[in-house]
Amino acid sequence: MTKEQRLKKRYSAEKRFKAYGIISVCAALLFVGILVFKVFSEGSGAFVKTAIQLELDLSKEKLNLPEKPTKEDFENIDFYDFAQQHILKIYPAITTKEKKELLTLFSSDFEYEVKDFILSNKNLIGQKVFFKITAASDLDQMHKGNYTRDIPEERRKVSNFQLKIYDFLLKENKISKIFNNYLFSNGDSRNPEIAGIGGAMLGSFFSIIVCLIISFPIALLAAVYLEEFAPKNAFTDFIEININNLAAVPSIVFGLLGLGILLNVFELPRSTSLVGGITLALMTLPRIIIPCRASLKAVPPSIREGALAVGASKVQSVMHHVVPLAMPGTLSGTIIGLAQALGETAPLLLIGMVAFVVQVPGTPMDPSSSLPVQVYLWSESAERGFVEKTSATIMMLLGFLIAMNSIAVYARQKFEKKWI
């Protein structure tokens, strides 16, 4: 082979290699693009809800209130009856079936929506006001275009009569899309239109806080001891191997551990984010110890020597110099470990955080769900309304993960740049 041939061959090999790299990057981007597109196109609808405008007559006669109403009088109002009367007025429904069909166009919670509105706006008593009531999920899906109306009535969720009302309301401009506050404030529900991820978000938040409080100090101390103080012998080698093994153990095994120890032996309350957090902490510990050790190892030995040479004790040299210098690495390792814990589902299923919880948890001791488990729960639901909610939950989860990972990158860069 001549020199020219060799040169040509080398150049084409380099070109090929570059092409392979570009193809792989493009393939990866394509998959991310498909995922993001699917999740966004399905989930963005969940952030708005369909609402139907009612004209409420808040006169005292209609509300059955005396001239000077007391607090008790307000509580005695039959809000269901009051709301129902107004709903039945928007479209002529004669038979019981028609009345029922008209009422089921509204969220099953319409009574409470009207009640909350009146009780928090007592100054409007005596006036006529417009009020928007959340529509039922089926009408919501119809309005968002997720249901087709060109199929026979018996296969449709919305009856012919309901369609007539819908068209009438559209013509009257009484149907609108408004921001879905329930998505963020409510817990789970059987009715998609009032189901929210507020409970799941708080559950996830409590779990992650518990996980952070338990795992970070233990992991940091373990890493510092193993890296700086422990003698190098067979026993510490054994521990090191086991930490690496633990980091690779499937997360569901930690769920079994939580179930067996925390719930059965210590009898901690089931389905709570406290237990979830402890279980996640067990899982996260080795995953934080490893990056902590790596960042401690990366601190140059000359810094330790410098501190020792001016007469710092071993503990002083580690605490005053090595640990602060390793902080960017330990922090970003911790945050990435927590981000993994945030997305973890399997261990939480085993300790009962998969329960159907309507109440939004107030403390880590209350039963709750978590974001990934909520995705799992809703993805199994039959109602069309839960499909967009599932994707919206995934969007929130991805949002939190991206935020946490960005914080990790930012923390690392900011603290490292400071001195070097």
Q: Closer to other proteins by CB, 125 or 303: give it.
A: 303
| CA atoms lying within 13 Å on the CB side of residue 264 | 8
Question: Encoding tokens for residue 28?
Answer: 């990866």
Shortest Å distance, C-beta 365 to other proteins: 43
Burial degree of 179 (CB within 10 A; 0-12, 13-18, 19+): exposed
When asked if residue 231 is in the footprint of other proteins (CB under 8 A), the reply is: yes
Q: Closer to other proteins by CB, 46 or 322: give it.
A: 322
State whether residue 268 is helix, strand or coil. Answer: coil
State whether residue 149 is helix, strand or coil. Answer: coil
When asked if residue 234 is in the footprint of other proteins (CB under 8 A), the reply is: no
Give the Å distances, CA to CA, from 147 to 52, 76, 151, 171, 411: 18, 40, 10, 19, 47
When asked if residue 417 is in the footprint of other proteins (CB under 8 A), the reply is: no
User: Distance between CA atoms of 182 and 108, rounded to whole angstroms?
Assistant: 14
Q: How many CB atoms lie within 10 A of CB 156?
A: 17
Largest CA distance in the chain: 109
When asked if residue 307 is in the footprint of other proteins (CB under 8 A), the reply is: yes
Task: Name the segment binding other proteins (CB under 8 A); options: 24-32, 200-208, 313-321, 403-411.
Answer: 313-321
* Alpha helix positions (H), 150-272: 160-171, 182-185, 198-224, 234-248, 251-257
When asked if residue 308 is in the footprint of other proteins (CB under 8 A), the reply is: yes
Shortest Å distance, C-beta 408 to other proteins: 21
Shortest Å distance, C-beta 211 to other proteins: 31
When asked if residue 321 is in the footprint of other proteins (CB under 8 A), the reply is: yes
Shortest Å distance, C-beta 221 to other proteins: 21
When asked if residue 230 is in the footprint of other proteins (CB under 8 A), the reply is: no
When asked if residue 236 is in the footprint of other proteins (CB under 8 A), the reply is: no
When asked if residue 382 is in the footprint of other proteins (CB under 8 A), the reply is: no
Look at the block and give the residue holding tokens 């509105």: 117
When asked if residue 313 is in the footprint of other proteins (CB under 8 A), the reply is: yes
Residues in 157-186 at the binding interface with other proteins, rule: CB under 8 A = none
Q: Closer to other proteins by CB, 145 or 311: give it.
A: 311
Shortest Å distance, C-beta 301 to other proteins: 9
When asked if residue 34 is in the footprint of other proteins (CB under 8 A), the reply is: no
When asked if residue 217 is in the footprint of other proteins (CB under 8 A), the reply is: no
When asked if residue 310 is in the footprint of other proteins (CB under 8 A), the reply is: yes
User: Distance between CA atoms of 338 and 210, rounded to whole angstroms?
Assistant: 11
User: Distance between CA atoms of 98 and 306, rounded to whole angstroms?
Assistant: 86
Size of the site for other proteins (CB under 8 A): 23
When asked if residue 232 is in the footprint of other proteins (CB under 8 A), the reply is: yes
User: Distance between CA atoms of 114 and 124, rounded to whole angstroms?
Assistant: 13
Shortest Å distance, C-beta 297 to other proteins: 15
When asked if residue 302 is in the footprint of other proteins (CB under 8 A), the reply is: yes
Question: Encoding tokens for residue 158?
Answer: 């919305």
Shortest Å distance, C-beta 8 to other proteins: 46
Q: DSSP assignment of 1-36, as one string?
A: --HHHHHHHHHHHHHHHHHHHHHHHHHHHHHHHHHH
Shortest Å distance, C-beta 299 to other proteins: 10
263 Cβ contact partners less than 8 Å away, ≥ 6 residues apart = 270, 275, 351, 352
Q: Closer to other proteins by CB, 169 or 307: give it.
A: 307
Question: Encoding tokens for residue 62?
Answer: 């209609």
**Per-position x/- string for 325-364, each x denoting binding to other proteins as judged by CB under 8 A, each - no binding:** x---------------------------------------
Q: Closer to other proteins by CB, 318 or 341: give it.
A: 318
User: Distance between CA atoms of 270 and 311, rounded to whole angstroms?
Assistant: 52
Q: Closer to other proteins by CB, 103 or 312: give it.
A: 312
Shortest Å distance, C-beta 16 to other proteins: 44
When asked if residue 305 is in the footprint of other proteins (CB under 8 A), the reply is: yes
Pairing mode, strands 128-134 and 48-57: antiparallel
Return residues touching other proteins (CB under 8 A).
231-232, 300, 302-314, 316, 320-321, 325, 418-420
